[in-house]
């Protein structure tokens, strides 16, 4: 499996499509041969960073089991520009499948996120010491409406906290499909049971070995010439397969075109 595909590259930046199952970067002072950062070093050599080559060129990240678009800084000029202006100059959109159907077809989740004191891997809503986090969402399609099985949702981020979409959607009550960290197994079992009760499905037809979340679009003003760069990465095969199954088990309520903008 290739760790990433290149959508655009020049002497300052690269836009890449990261595969699911690839860690964005390893830990400092540890041998790292299979992270995205290591694969980037193999292709581009040493890339700029504030904290060592183990995160060279990386100004943002994706969770290991989230696929999709990242912008990589190849020059110090690009790295400084993106690091200092990321929130205002880089715009990101994701598409994911969630359990159930949100009560509102669109909205914004403004809830601070902090570390979970009970698990080093998890984050949680923390109104006392958490960092501000804002996620905008829009339901694209309702899948299996009668059985309330799932929804296809588009997300836009104002902030980039660890696990932000996953934490916010779990907080809203509609966790990302297949998210083993934030979606209790009972929620998955209930959704699958409703679908099997209402529709004829093969065993394992609704299983996915990762969270169904993909970074589909990324746009920025180029750090050198300030021209507008836009990248798009269609849903990968595994999520498309699950989506195909969900679309075919019942009548679909089309809320909007999955390829449109928020």
Active site residue 63: yes
Q: What are the angstrom distances between the C-alpha of 184 and each of 99, 176, 187?
A: 11, 11, 6
Separation between Cα atoms, residue 222 and residue 135, nearest integer Å? 24
Q: Which of 50, 63, 126, 224 is catalytic?
A: 63
Q: Supply the DSSP string of 21-65, one letter for each residue.
A: T--S---TTS--SSSHHHHHHHHH-S---SS-GGGTTBSS---TT
Query: Would you say 187 and 135 are in contact if contact means Cβ atoms under 8 Å apart?
Result: no
Query: Would you say 8 and 15 are in contact if contact means Cβ atoms under 8 Å apart?
Result: yes
Strands 150-157 and 67-73: unpaired
Q: Would you please indicate which residues are annotated as catalytic (active-site) residues?
A: 63
């Amino acid at each position: 499996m290739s760790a990433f595909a290149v959508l655009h590259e020049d002497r300052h930046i690269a836009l890449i499509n990261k595969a699911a199952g690839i860690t964005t970067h390893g830990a400092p002072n540890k041998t790292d041969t299979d992270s995205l950062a290591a694969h980037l070093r193999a292709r581009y050599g040493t890339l700029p960073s504030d904290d060592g080559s183990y995160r060279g060129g990386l100004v943002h990240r994706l969770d290991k089991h989230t696929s999709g678009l990242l912008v990589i800084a190849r020059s110090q000029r690009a790295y400084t520009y993106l690091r200092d202006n990321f929130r205002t100059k880089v715009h990101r959109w994701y598409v994911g499948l969630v359990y159930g159907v949100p009560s509102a077809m669109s909205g914004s989740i403004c809830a601070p996120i902090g570390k979970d004191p009970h698990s080093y891997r998890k984050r949680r809503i923390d109104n006392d010491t958490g960092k501000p986090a804002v996620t905008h969402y829009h339901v694209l399609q309702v899948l299996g409406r009668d059985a309330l099985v799932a929804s296809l949702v588009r997300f836009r981020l104002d902030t980039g906290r660890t696990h932000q979409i996953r934490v916010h959607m779990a907080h809203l009550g509609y966790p990302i499909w297949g998210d083993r960290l934030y979606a209790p197994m009972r929620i998955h079992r209930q959704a699958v049971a409703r679908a099997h009760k209402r529709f004829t499905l093969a065993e394992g037809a609704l299983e996915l070995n990762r969270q169904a979340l993909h970074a589909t679009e990324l746009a920025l003003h180029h750090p050198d010439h300030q021209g507008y760069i836009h990248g798009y990465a269609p849903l990968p095969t595994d999520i498309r397969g699950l989506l195909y199954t969900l679309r075919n088990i019942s009548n679909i309520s089309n809320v909007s075109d999955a390829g449109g903008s928020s």
